[in-house]
Amino acid sequence: MKDFLNAAAHWVVPLLLLGIPLYAYAVRKIRVYESFIEGAKEGFWIGVRIIPYLVGILVAIGMFRASGAMEFFVYLLTPVTDLIGMPAEVLPAALMRPLSGSGSLGIITELIKTHGAESFIGRLASTIYGCSETTFYVVAVYFGAVQIKNVRSAVWVGLTADAAGILAAVFICRYLFL
């Protein structure tokens, strides 16, 4: 199983990058390049509209980290991480991921420098990064860009998906790397 997953991992992204445009062009008769250019034009103006929301979420993340709230949450959740087999060192990365991709990447980079990329902690932190989303960033920036004020259940669904991704990452990494 491990050998199959390792072999498949090398081909998944290239096949998707080749397969999706080929399918769009050959089967759906979409002019792929022209559609890409049109999307890029729209993306520029969306980028201009989301700047205020982006600044707001970045300030909130800075306040969260500087206030000591991160360390407090790590302290509170360490017994839970011990129960599921997740090293406490990885918890700050898991807590930061719903808030900020670059913030969690910085934490993961520190973990990899300290423990090594081939260590269980390095692999688990990297897998968590790939299995979760920047939920609050998405809600603040993208919902703000299209002027959605009432996000309803989006935050709770996103956080539930993040928790499921983190639990799956712990389970899969323990299965594959321990």
Quick: pLDDT tens for 126-138. Answer: 999 999 999 988 8
* Structural domains counted in the chain: 1
Residue 11 lies in a domain: no
Residue 86 lies in a domain: yes
116-125, 140-149, 152-161: segment of lowest average pLDDT: 140-149
Tell me what pLDDT residue 84 has: 94
What sign for the dihedral angle of Cα 135, 161, 77, 121? negative
Tell me what pLDDT residue 53 has: 78
Q: In this model, does residue 145 exceed pLDDT 80?
A: no
Domain range for 83: 46-177
Residue 114 lies in a domain: yes
Tell me what pLDDT residue 17 has: 93
Residue 15 lies in a domain: no
Instruction: Go through the chain and tell me how many residues it has.
Output: 178
Q: For the packed helices 2-26 and 32-66, what is the interaxial angle rounded to 10 degrees?
A: 130
* Residue-wise pLDDT tens digits, 41-90: 988 887 788 788 778 877 887 888 889 888 898 889 999 999 999 999 99
103 pLDDT band, cuts 50/70/90, is confident
Residue 33 lies in a domain: no
35 pLDDT band, cuts 50/70/90, is very high
Kindly state the tokens that stand for 120. Answer: 């269980």
Tell me what pLDDT residue 119 has: 96
Tell me what pLDDT residue 83 has: 94
* Cα distance between residue 9 and residue 4, in whole Å: 8
Helix, strand, or coil here: 72? helix
CA atoms within 13 A on the CB side of 38: 6
Residue 120 lies in a domain: yes
Residue 16 lies in a domain: no
* Cα distance between residue 100 and residue 162, in whole Å: 13
157 pLDDT band, cuts 50/70/90, is very high
Residue 64 lies in a domain: yes
DSSP string, 75-135: HHHHHHHHHHT--GGGHHHHHHTTT-HHHHHHHHHHHHHHH-TTSHHHHHHHHHHHH---H
